[in-house]
Structure 1
Amino acid sequence: MNSLKRDPGLRLPIWDYPIDQCDDISRAYIKVEPYQQILTNYPFSGPEKHYHQFQSSWFKLFPSWLEYSSSKDAAFCLSCYLFTKEANWTPWINHVGKNPNLPHNIAEQACKDLMSEAQHIEKIIKKQTSKQIVKNRLRLKTSIDSIRWLAFQACAFRGHDERPKSKNRGNFLEMIKILASYNKSVDEVVLENAIGNVKYTLPMIQKEILHILSRKVRDVIREEIGDAKFCIIVDEARNDSKRKQMTLVLRFVIKMVFYVKDFLTLFTSQILWR
Structure 2
Amino acid sequence: MDKFLIKQPRSSSGPFVSSHVVPEAQRETITPSSSNVDCILGVGSLKRDPGGRKPIFEYDSNIRDVVRRHYILMGPYQPKLRVYPKTIFGTSNRQFNPEWFNAPNSAWLEYSIDDDAIFCLCCYLFKNEFESHGNARKSFTQDGFKTWNHGPERIRLHVGEVNSIHNKCLNRMLDFANQRQSIQSSLHKQSEKTKSDYRIRLNASIDVVRFLLRNGLPFRGHDESEDSNYKGLFLNF
Could you state the TM-score of these two structures normalised by the residue count of structure 1? Answer: 0.43
Higher RCO (CA-CA < 8 Å; seq separation 6+): 2
**Higher gyration radius (CA):** 1
Q: TM-score, normalised by structure 2?
A: 0.49
